[in-house]
Amino acid sequence: MNSEHYRNEADRWYRQGVADLEAARGSLQLKKYEWASFQAQQAGEKFLKAYWLYHGHDPWGHSIAKLIMDFPDTAAKRSIENLSDAGKYLDKMYIPTRYPNGLPDMIPAEVYTCEEASKAIEQAQKILDALRPLLEP
């Protein structure tokens, strides 16, 4: 891929992350806390993947913390290392928010709370706030 293509892909991933974060807020209002938590995780993941693409790298995987830790450009990595805790929090929202077998004897809809979903949204917003000035022209 050439640099223009990477930048276009970064923009697409970034915009979908913004849409996912907006959807998470909607799910929170509907008291679908497990879904809001997962959508926040998806937003954070897409913001990090946009950052990778913006810098001409191909991201792989779903762990936000790992996308931060494995970022290949040392200088650009310094701008995102402080997002590691937000990434770790959101990583915990990837599987158990969606699958009944991810939790003992209950389903995600019965377990996730407003507080957890709100914090997930806050963490995704933190990632967006940090990356927005680095991704937007």
Output the tens digit of pLDDT for each of the chain's 137 residues.
689 999 999 999 999 999 999 999 999 999 999 999 999 999 999 999 999 999 999 999 999 999 999 999 999 999 999 999 999 999 999 999 999 998 889 999 999 999 999 999 999 999 999 999 988 76
pLDDT confidence of residue 136: 73
Domains of the chain, start order: 3-135 (1.20.120.330)
CA dist 97 and 92 (Å) reads: 8
pLDDT confidence of residue 102: 87
Q: Which two tokens stand for residue 136?
A: 């937007």
pLDDT confidence of residue 39: 98
Q: Please give the span between the terminal C-alpha atoms of the chain, in angstroms, as a whole number.
A: 20
CA dist list (Å): 42 to 5, 26, 104, 125: 22, 14, 24, 12
